[in-house]
Structure 1
Amino acid sequence: MARPREFDEREALIQAMHVFWSKGYESTSLPDLLKATGLSRSSLYDTFGSKRELFLAAFEIYRQERMRVLHGYLNSESTAYTSIQGFFLMVLEHARMQERPFGCMSCNEAVEFGPHDPEVQQLVEKDFLGIEDAFTLAIEAGKKDGSIPLNKNARRLARFLTVTLQGLQMMSRSRLDMERLEDATSVMLTTLQ
Structure 2
Amino acid sequence: MSYGRPLSFNPDEAVHAAMQLFWAKGYAGTSLQDLLQAMGLSKSSFYQAFDSKQALFARCFDCYCRWRSARMRASLNQSSSAWEFIENVFWAVANGAESELERRGCLLMNTASEFGQRDRVVVELVSSGMVCFEAVFIEAVQQAQTEGSIACDRDPHAIASFLVSSMSGLRTMVKAGMRHSQLSNIVKNILYSLN
8 Å contact from structure 2 (residues 145, 151) kept in 1: yes
Q: Percent identity?
A: 35
In structure 2, what is the Cα distance between the partners aligned to 1:83 and 1:166? 16
In structure 2, what is the Cα distance between the partners aligned to 1:155 and 1:29? 38
Q: 1:169 aligns with which of 168, 171, 192?
A: 171
2:146 alignment counterpart = 144
8 Å contact from structure 1 (residues 22, 101) kept in 2: no
Q: For residue 99 of structure 1, report the CA deviation from its aligned partner.
A: 5.4
In structure 2, what is the Cα distance between the partners aligned to 1:98 and 1:65? 18
The DSSP-based 3-state class of the residue aligned with 2:139 is helix
Alignment of 1:43-62 (within 5 A): 43-62=45-64
Deviates more, 1:126-135 or 1:115-124: 126-135
RMSD: 1.6
Q: For residue 74 of structure 1, report the CA deviation from its aligned partner.
A: 2.2
Gaps of 5+ in 2: none
Q: 1:85 aligns with which of 83, 87, 109?
A: 87
Q: TM-score, normalised by structure 2?
A: 0.92
Aligned positions, number = 193
Q: Which amino acid aligns with 2:92?
A: M
Q: For residue 93 of structure 1, report the CA deviation from its aligned partner.
A: 3.0
8 Å contact from structure 2 (residues 102, 171) kept in 1: no
2:71 alignment counterpart = 69
Q: 1:107 aligns with which of 90, 106, 109?
A: 109
Gaps of 5+ in 1: none
1:23 alignment counterpart = 25
Q: Which amino acid aligns with 1:71?
A: R
The DSSP-based 3-state class of the residue aligned with 1:3 is coil
Q: Deviations for 1:27-67, whole angstroms, at most 9, x for unmatched residues?
A: 10111111111111111111001111111111111111011
The DSSP-based 3-state class of the residue aligned with 2:97 is helix
Q: For residue 98 of structure 1, report the CA deviation from its aligned partner.
A: 3.6
The DSSP-based 3-state class of the residue aligned with 2:128 is helix
Q: Deviations for 1:135-162, whole angstroms, at most 9, x for unmatched residues?
A: 1211111111223232333222212211
**1:3/1:129 CA distance change after superposition, 3 Å:** closer
1:117 alignment counterpart = 119
